[in-house]
Amino acid sequence: MPLHQAIGNYSKMATIRLPLAALIFTHMAAMASAASLVTFTFGDSLTEVGNNNYLQYSLARADYPWYGVDFPGQKATGRFTNGRTIGDIISAKLGIPSPAPYLSVTNNADALIKGVNYASGGAGILNDTGLYFIQRLTFDDQINYFEKTKETIRAKIGEEAVNKLCNGSLFFVGIGSNDYVNNYLQPFLADGQQYTYDEFMDLLISTLKQQFMRLYQLGARKLIFHGLGPLGCIPSQRVKSKTGRCLKQVNNWVLEFNSKVQRFITTLNGNLPSAQFMFADTYPLVLDLINNPTAYGFKISNTSCCNVDTSIGGLCLPNSKLCSNRRDFVFWDAFHPSDAANEVLADKFFSTLFSAPPSIAPTPH
Residues annotated as catalytic are 45, 333, 336
SS3 content of the chain, % helix, strand, coil (to 5): 45, 10, 45
| Other C-beta atoms lying within 10 Å of the C-beta of residue 199 | 11
Contacts 24+ apart (CB under 8 A), 208-212: 208/125, 208/139, 208/176, 208/261, 208/264, 209/264, 209/268, 211/125, 211/139, 211/140, 211/143, 212/264, 212/265, 212/268, 212/277
Find the helix or strand (DSSP H, E) in which 277 lies. Answer: strand 276-281
Burial code (b: 16+ CB inside 10 Å, e: under 16) for 182-191 equals bbbbeeebeb
Q: What DSSP letter does each residue of 164-177 carry, written as one string? A: HHHHHSEEEEE--H
Question: Cis ω on the peptide bond leading into residue 66 (within 30° of 0)?
Answer: yes
CA distance 111 to 152: 11
Please tell me the distance from the alpha carbon of residue 146 to that of residue 195, in angstroms, as a whole number: 31
Sign for the CA dihedral angle at 154, 140, 283, 359 comes to negative
d(CA 277, CA 216): 10
* 3-class SS of residue 303: strand
SS3 call for 320: coil
